[in-house]
Amino acid sequence: MNLSKYLSAIQEADLYKRYGKVQRVVGIMIESVGPAANIGEVCYIHPTINQQRQPVLAEVVGFNNEKIILMPYNEVSEIGPGCLVESTGKPLTVKVGRSLIGNVIDSLGLPLDGSELPKGLSNYLTEQSPPNPMARPTISEPNQVGVKAIDSILTVGKGQRIGLFAGSGVGKSTLLGMIARNSKADINVIALIGERGREVREFIEKDLGQEGLKKSIVVVATSDQPALMRIKGAYTATAICEYFRDLGYNVNLMMDSVTRVAMAQREVGLATGEPPTTKGYTPSVFSILPKLLERTGTNKYGAITAFYTVLVDGDDMNEPIADTVRGILDGHFVMDRKLAEQGQYPAINILKSISRVMNQIVTTEHLDLAQQARSLLAKYEENKDLIQIGAYKRGTDHEIDKAILYQPKLQTFLKQGVLDKFSLEEAIEHLKLVLNGGS
Ligand SMILES: Nc1ncnc2c1ncn2[C@@H]1O[C@H](COP(=O)(O)OP(=O)(O)O)[C@@H](O)[C@H]1O
Ligand SMILES: [Mg+2]
């Protein structure tokens, strides 16, 4: 047996543990003198007061002269001056593998219910670089989501990244649950960031259900968790997708919500002394968003189709986060409170929404049907005020007459009950029937 490899590894091994010492705690930041560590490295802080306690995990987020600035992943109370700080020498990793499917985990990759992780998982870095743009295959195939309105008129491609813009209570979680259950993707990774604890449970039990959970991994960082955990939730979920993409899987990522990730980054930014800019968001918010959102999409092995929800108050699509995210992604679906109030679910406003890759992934017949539907809806919308106050006289304009005739049929077509499931082919057939005078 050739032992030389092992012998040299032993000779080169660094057997010293290097510690630093906590000097100051300001708000959520911990300043320590040493150890030598890079930004993003994970450190253990050993409590001195109660030796029995587990060490606290923290990440290096900055430097101040000779001191390193750490931010703990969890709430801490037993840190005092002089506590020892030990560097792990590595950024955050999580355990990933096929046996993780069906589990609900936290941002550090640990089961949320406190149980043991399944066996056979390997370590995976949560921060990765986006695939090289030149090595990304173009999006060429549709990815069925099982929601008629989307599959027929806003077809999503395998590896497309979509923003779901909506206020609260208009049906985001319900829609994501439907997609997770009905989609043809091999696996769903669902990141619930900044939601309240009650909403998380409701989503998993009601919206996702047993059927959805069987082919999903859910990553949860609730609103009460420290900002860093909420940010890491987004990274962990993205990393899990990347792991499966490299195995050739067709993965769906659903991140609800990317606005809450941006808010968490703002909290960290302000705490580390960044200046606030637009709407109080710090520059780092606008630098991490593209880095995070570019990681999904296609690479040479597989594809991550991503749905990022963006919270918009009222209809303010020009709010800085909404504006930035929309610029990065390949499409946006707008969910409209007015539609929800009318019971028109899923409350997707077709005319305000677009799938930027649809043209290149569907047949000409399908595209033609979608355009017909869109122009009928647009014609009605343009003349809606006149029609509704009764100022429009039938027979004046052939196009408007047609739009009025088709409006209720299209509305019925676009509606879908939470438990209804349609394949992409069924959605197209159905739309064809509606446009050809059926119902
Ligand atoms: N497809 C649907 N069919 C019927 N009702 C729906 C549908 N989607 C959403 N709803 C209603 O809207 C409510 C809020 O939806 P939810 O998904 O929790 O919104 P959000 O996640 O945007 O806050 C649900 O409790 C349900 O009553
Ligand atoms: Mg919700």
If one residue of 174, 201, 202, 418 were mutated to test the ligand 1 pocket, choosing by the most ligand atoms within 8 A of its CB, it would be 174
Ligand 1 centroid–CA 341 distance in Å is: 11
Which range, of 9-13, 236-240, 341-345, averages the lowest pLDDT? 9-13
Confidence of residue 180 (pLDDT cuts 50, 70, 90): very high
CA torsion angle 386 392 398 399 (round to 10): 10
Average pLDDT, the chain: 91
pLDDT grade for 365, boundaries at 50, 70 and 90? very high
Q: Is 170 in the pocket of ligand 1 (CB under 6 A)?
A: yes
| Integer Cα distance of 43 and 35 in angstroms | 9
Cβ of residue 344 lying under 6 Å from some atom of ligand 1: no
**117 CA → ligand 2 middle, Å:** 27
| 196 CA to centre of ligand 2 in angstroms | 9
d(CA 263, CA 266): 5
**Residue whose CA is at the smallest distance from ligand 1 atom 15:** 171
Mean pLDDT of 83-89: 90
Helices (H) and strands (E) in the chain, counts: 14, 17
What number is the average pLDDT over the span 402-430?
94
Confidence of residue 223 (pLDDT cuts 50, 70, 90): very high
Ranking 46-55, 148-157, 243-252 by mean pLDDT, the lowest is: 46-55
Cα-only R_g, the chain: 25
Average the pLDDT over 126-130 and give the result.
93
Q: Which helix (H) or strand (E) holds 29?
A: strand 29-33
Q: Alpha helices, DSSP H only, in 13-118?
A: none
Which has the closest alpha carbon to 89: 11, 167, 37? 37
Decide if pLDDT at 439 tops 60: no
Of the ranges 4-18, 80-94, 254-268, 320-334, which one carries the lowest mean pLDDT score?
4-18
Q: How confident is the model at residue 438 (pLDDT cuts 50, 70, 90)?
A: low
